[in-house]
Amino acid sequence: MSTHLTPTARVILGMLQLGAKTGYEIKHAVEVSTRFFWGASYGQIYPELRRLAQAGLLAASEAPRGGVRRTEYHLTAEGERSLHEWLTADDAGIFEMRDELLLRLFFADLLSSEDARAVASRMRERSEWILERFRELEPDARDGFTEGGGERFPHLALQYGIGLMEWIARWATETERALDEDRLS
Amino acid sequence: MSTHLTPTARVILGMLQLGAKTGYEIKHAVEVSTRFFWGASYGQIYPELRRLAQAGLLAASEAPRGGVRRTEYHLTAEGERSLHEWLTADDAGIFEMRDELLLRLFFADLLSSEDARAVASRMRERSEWILERFRELEPDARDGFTEGGGERFPHLALQYGIGLMEWIARWATETERALDEDRLS
DNA sequence: GCCACCATGTAATCGGTTACATGATTAA
DNA sequence: TTAATCATGTAACCGATTACATGGTGGC
């Protein structure tokens, strides 16, 4: 019986296994790590936590702090099996991207060369901005982003993000240059 | 009065301006060009075409071919204005990506080193596969993908896609190697 | 005769975001 | 006392995909 995990269930199970306990902590972990390639909102997280508990993949326990209601979750044996199965699945998984600036560039034959160049510039600026956000996360990621610590793959994923954004910034810069030469000849 | 364009309206207006005429042709153009960074399905295209016509951005005309019902669309002056406004907008636009293999890699501390390495391999295989699809599109893109022809930016966007996938494939290969060294020491 | 392609559409469902509401605790 | 942070949740809405239905045309 291989329980199919919804997209949000995948991050939830993973984050719980890496040490997050509450919905709030899951959300936080996502924001400081996977959000650029796998997001999750409260509107998804809380209902999904209950569904997963209902399905027997999670166990819930009330763990108030002072007067604050608080529910901690952890994986059941079934949940662990399910997570492991997904992590080792033999498929290419979801791969999607949506890039509005690239779409504008695709249509840039409809623009003046100045306006076309401006699209490339915005692409470079955007990746530089994201790059800064990534570098801010680096120190945390290096020592493992959960208190449990010791993880190395989150750091590797960040290195991927940094490398990717550097590549895009470089490409955009070269494209700006190419469009310039074009304009001046 | 700046009409806000829905995501799908953006490709529709652009594709129409590049020479597509019917919903079917728009869908086809998307499939052989932008689908990796901006998709659109019939379920979105047809209703949106009618909405855009209603809003005055498009003009529709019945253009049957033999006994086949067929509706051709083209931009009105208002539609052109709207498209141009979007293309030159001063913002970073939508930038999203969702990568399930990267998420698995992020969680790979939960896996054996063999299984972790397998995730990296799948990443490489996936980008190589996409790369092949891109290269198949290259000849068409070089001469402009619409019969009107003469566009250069669609080709540039394809070059971007190719470069990006090559970068990912390279990164994955290096990561495989790094994980190997690790395992053998 | 059949298959590939041209062509248009809809209903069900999904996965997700946004905006809102509520309230306790802690540190400045 | 006030702001930031911890914590949980829901309702409305959105954008999109999937699966289905229908039918003509052209070439082998």
Please report the pLDDT score of residue A148 as a whole number: 59
| Contact across the interface for B94 and A99, Cβ inside 8 Å | yes
Q: Give the β-pairing of A95-99 and A71-75.
A: unpaired
DSSP per residue over B117-184, as a string? HHHHHHHHHHHHHHHHHHHHHHHHHHT-SSTT----HHHHHHHHHHHHHHHHHHHHHHHHHHHHHHHT
Please report the pLDDT score of residue A144 as a whole number: 63
Q: Is B181 on the interface with A (CB under 8 A)?
A: no
pLDDT in tens, chain A (185 residues): 677 999 999 999 999 999 999 999 999 999 999 999 999 999 999 999 999 999 999 999 999 999 999 999 999 999 999 999 999 999 999 999 999 999 999 999 999 999 999 999 999 999 999 999 999 998 877 766 665 568 999 999 999 999 999 999 999 999 999 999 878 77
Q: Is B151 on the interface with A (CB under 8 A)?
A: yes
Task: Give the distance from residue B70's alpha carbon to the nearest chain A alpha carbon, in angstroms.
Answer: 25
| Contact across the interface for A160 and B98, Cβ inside 8 Å | no
pLDDT in tens, A12-37: 999 999 999 999 999 999 999 999 99
Interface of A with B in 113-142 (CB under 8 A): 115-116, 118-119, 122, 125-126, 129-130
Distance from residue B71's CA to nucleotide C11's C1', rounded to whole Å: 23
For the range B144-152, what are the long-range contacts, defined as Cβ-Cβ under 8 Å and sequence gap of 24 or more? B145/B29, B145/B32, B145/B33, B146/B18, B146/B19, B146/B20, B146/B29, B147/B19, B148/B18, B148/B19, B150/A109, B151/A109, B151/B18, B152/A109
Distance from residue A19's CA to nucleotide C25's C1', rounded to whole Å: 23
- List the beta strands (DSSP E) in A63-162: 71-75, 95-99
pTM over 0.85? The answer is yes
Share of chain A above pLDDT 90, in %: 87
